[in-house]
Amino acid sequence: MFVLTGPGSPSVLSNVVVSIEQHVEWVVDYIDHMRRVGTQFAEASHAAQEQWVDHVTSIAADSLYMQADSWYLGANVPGKPRIFMPYIGGVGNYRNLCTQIAADNYRGFTTTPELA
């Protein structure tokens, strides 16, 4: 299962239809890659997840989003850690990063071979 336009993507701050198209195209390409190399299962490594959250957080840190008492940050839930989950680095940058990950043999993903 792949989550499209989820946390860490720019989708909610962009034209979501364009983001969905980019996400679907990337997932289809990844599934095709998995089939070609004989992989049935894949997931993002814990380290890659942490690196992405750190990247998203560092970009948001200098924005006004972090200064607002908004539900975007979880401010509507007492005691909830304040974190901004959308990627505000831009759709073009996000697309380029996804392309780089694919070109680098899907760096950050761990895979399991097909079951016999």
What per-residue confidence (pLDDT) applies to 7? 87
Q: Is pLDDT above 80 for 55?
A: yes
Distance CA 35, CA 54 (A): 31
What per-residue confidence (pLDDT) applies to 116? 52
What per-residue confidence (pLDDT) applies to 115? 62
Instruction: State in Å, rounded, how far the first CA of the chain is from the last one.
Output: 21
pLDDT, mean of residues 55-67: 92
pLDDT digits (tens, 9 = 90+) for 64-100: 998 888 888 888 899 988 888 899 999 999 999 999 9
The residue whose two tokens read 């364009």 is 18
> Distances from the Cα of 86 to the Cαs of 46, 48, 51, 95, in angstroms?
19, 17, 15, 14
Helix (H) or strand (E) holding 54: helix 46-61
Exposure string of 29-41, with b = 16+ CB inside 10 Å and e = fewer, is ebeebbeeeebee
Whole-model pTM over 0.95: no
pLDDT class of 23 with cuts at 50, 70, 90? very high
What per-residue confidence (pLDDT) applies to 44? 94
